[in-house]
Amino acid sequence: MEHIPPTHAESRSTSPRCQCPARRGEPPVSRPYDGCEIGGLYGHRWNDAFGTRTAVEIWLTVRGRHFFNDRAAARDLAYFVRSGRVQKIRLSDNPRPGLEWFIHRYPGRVVEIPTSTTRVSRGVIGFWIAKRVIVFTTTSSTGRRLFVVAKRGSVRLPAKNLGDLAYLGTQ
């Protein structure tokens, strides 16, 4: 019988005798695990009917639950900031009309905030427009405030606190 090497998912077994080899370029997997997930290689869009979560997320510890909840909020913010319409707004001379379109199109989902540090409710995207930057923010169900600062007239994102929770490109 031919030996078939384990797939990546099998290599993350919780068996105590399991050697957990990492994929090329990844650090070795260590135990105990905070959670596990099953997902596909598909993209998401902002306000996607399928949401911002992986198909199956199983948290095994409180830390794992917080990670999945923070990542869902970070992905929502990243999908919004990366969307084509918002990128055009960021590049425009006057971003206000475009962002006000979102307020009217998605009432209660997108709001203007009075200061760059204002907290918004869970599931809400807030924006603050300044002379040189636009600050986008959301709050995770764990209470963590996430933000992205976009340079006006550019695709550059000079500041953000999403870390490895969501991908925003090399901007």
The three-state secondary structure class of 89 is: helix
pLDDT, residue 134, reads 96
pLDDT, residue 39, reads 78
The overall average pLDDT reported for the chain is: 81
Q: For 4-13, what is each residue's pLDDT tens digit? A: 443 333 333 3
Amino acid at 122: R
Q: For 43-79, what is each residue's pLDDT tens digit? A: 677 767 666 777 788 888 888 899 999 999 999 999 9
Using 50 as the pLDDT threshold, list the residues of the chain that sit under it: 1-21
pLDDT, residue 7, reads 38
pLDDT, residue 24, reads 60
pLDDT, residue 26, reads 58
Amino acid at 136: F
| Model confidence, pTM | 0.76
